Amino acid sequence: MNNTLLEHINLPKDLRQLKPDDLPQLAQELRRFIINIVATKEGHLGASLGVVELTIALHYVFNTPKDELIWDVGHQAYGHKILTGRKAIFETNRQLGGISGFPKRSESEYDSFGVGHSSTSISAALGMAIASQLKGEDKHHIAVIGDASIASGMAFEGLNHAGVTDANLLVILNDNAIGIDPSVGALKQYLTNVKKGTEKQDNIFEALNFNYSGPIDGHDLPLLLSELKRLKTVKGPKFLHLITTKGKGLKQAELDQVKYHAPGKFDANTGELIAKSGPSQPPKFQDVFGETIVELALENDKIVGITPAMPTGSSLKYMMDTIPNRAFDVGIAEQHAVTLAAGMATQGLIPFCNIYSTFLQRAYDQIIHDVALQNLPVIFCLDRAGLVGEDGATHHGVFDLAYLNCIPNLVIFAPSNAIALRNIMYTAQLGIDFPMAIRYPRGRGYLLDWKKPFEKIEIGKGSCLKNGTDIAILSIGTLLKNVEDAVELLNQPDAIGYYDMQFVKPLDEVLLHKIFSSYKAIITIEDGTIVGGFGASILAFANTNNYKLTIITLGIEDKFIEHGTVNELQQLQQLDPLSIKTQIQDLLQLTSK
């Protein structure tokens, strides 16, 4: 089908010129447009395909951008971006210098609120609605939220407040029974019963003082248009319950909704995934975690695993499949996950709480108050630490070293490879009397032969990997490989020593005294923020001990880093091997004077 309608639509005002009977054809064209580009450029597919009709209906009925439209998380906003002035550049989605994969206020006036983490839309839309009331403005405020996101505590907080206001707020529940993995919990069962017509309790949303309508078919455009037009005339907080299919319009995406959330490259016509060819590859770090926790848990019945809605992404699903009664997906509830782990730890269990680094930010008080203050041995496994690539500023796990570094009792470890990850997990489950954070990156390491016999790691000890005469490089985590590659590029390697410090906290002060007494200058390197991170701790050590060496700290600069491949972003942050080599050469010249 030729894009006879979509090719003429650049903004919602163009969309509103169409007749209602034209919109189903536009929906087909918009789906095909998304599929064709994501098939080759990659990105989040299933969620956007599931809301094509809703996206068209919202921009057709409401006067965006005056009327505020907020997409929770934003995985589903591709159609929105295409219809709001970004069709011609949509192929740059998630690429360096291109448009963001999520709604972003600085990108378009149609992106009313920047999103990326879940469950924020209701609070944001309510804030806008109350502001409009105070300013005497007559406009609509719409929050589109999924069934996984609405189960989060923050969404309930927003609903609870909205229900006692007369704000002009419309909450649309996009109910497809899945987030990234299938939704879990009692609310999911309630929504399932509502859809089946078997729920006999009072409607929970009506009990919260919302004018509730639905559930209705979210792919029925005439019905959607009619209901949205009706809701425009209803005052106060309103709630529309839609039933949709994630991946709608691509058979494989409908059948395997987990895999096609973000499938990578695939054939746009058949939907078949395009396998990456080449020699055998090292495992992903999340798979090392997943296989290791199963291996350990089969021997140690005190081990439990916890994840907030990311069993597949974190690979805790391995344990959920093997030992289901000791592995828990608690839904999008990071605060609950942390305090649940704390409660388990008080009873002698060994909880491995697996949370993406960027999402642990949402449970900061619980880390401090419920875990560290009570010195409970919760083991945090922080996946997606450091630069994560194309998901960009909302998802980079670059703040964890800094925000954890200041918390008493907490031990922080960054494995440089898969073997170190396995060994620190083994060490932790042997019995520790303090909380520990283990942070590791997204993607693959570089070791093919990684399943070695377990070895206990001494807490707070770093290691010398190469002695030198002039400059010592102190690294944390997997950037060690970039350091090794940089040193290989130099023509005077004898001058350089490098060290895998392993622990950000506690620092190996014995080793540091030896280093500071043996070298002319120090370079620290981390894939976390320079402000407050590992390098800052080394500077503090030097100051406390009155060392006068030149110290250069490499890491993430004091700004939010946008999207691009990890290699591209490392180059921009001067953390790639060539940039490190240049830093070393400049420092060698300085120390030789």
Instruction: Please give the single-letter amino acid code of residue 171.
Output: V
The DSSP string of 414-437 is: --SSHHHHHHHHHHHHT--SS-EE
Q: Which two tokens stand for residue 157?
A: 């907080």
Q: Which two tokens stand for residue 538?
A: 């080394």
Q: Which two tokens stand for residue 73?
A: 């998380």
Phi-psi region for residue 11, left (φ > 0), alpha (ψ -120 to 50) or beta? beta
Concerning whether 444 is annotated as a catalytic residue, the answer is: no
Determine phi and psi for 60, rounding to 5 degrees.
-80, -40
C-alpha 335/C-alpha 49 separation (Å) is 31
C-alpha 68/C-alpha 558 separation (Å) is 31
Pick the catalytic residue from 53, 227, 295, 334: 334
C-alpha 187/C-alpha 159 separation (Å) is 14
Beta-sheet strands, E only, within 136-262: 141-146, 169-175, 211-217, 238-243
Say which residues have a Cβ less than 8 Å from residue 109's Cβ, sequence separation at least 6.
Answer: 65
Concerning whether 238 is annotated as a catalytic residue, the answer is: no
Per-residue buried b or exposed e for 528-566, using 16+ beta carbons within 10 Å of the residue's own CB: bbbebbbbbbbbebbeeeebeeebbbbbbeeeebebbeb
Number of neighbouring beta carbons within 10 Å of residue 325: 7
Mutual angle of helices 52-61 and 23-41, in 10-degree steps = 130
Helix runs in 91-214, H state only: 121-135, 153-162, 186-196, 204-207
Q: Which two tokens stand for residue 134?
A: 């105070």
Concerning whether 16 is annotated as a catalytic residue, the answer is: no
C-alpha 34/C-alpha 53 separation (Å) is 13
C-alpha 110/C-alpha 105 separation (Å) is 8
Pick the catalytic residue from 362, 422, 439, 505: 362
In the block, which residue shows the tokens 């899945």? 178
Q: How far is CA 66 from CA 69, 132, 191, 552, in A?
A: 9, 11, 32, 49
Longest dimension (CA), the chain: 82
Estimate to the nearest angstrom the gap between the alpha carbon of 272 and the chain centroid: 26
Instruction: Please give the single-letter amino acid code of residue 533.
Output: G
In the block, which residue shows the tokens 């990311």? 310
Q: How far is CA 360 from CA 35, 353, 357, 441, in A?
A: 32, 10, 5, 14
Determine phi and psi for 108, rounding to 5 degrees.
-160, 145
Pick the catalytic residue from 246, 317, 326, 384: 246
Cβ–Cβ < 8 Å for 554, 477: no
C-alpha 265/C-alpha 42 separation (Å) is 6
Kindly list the catalytic residues: 246, 334, 362
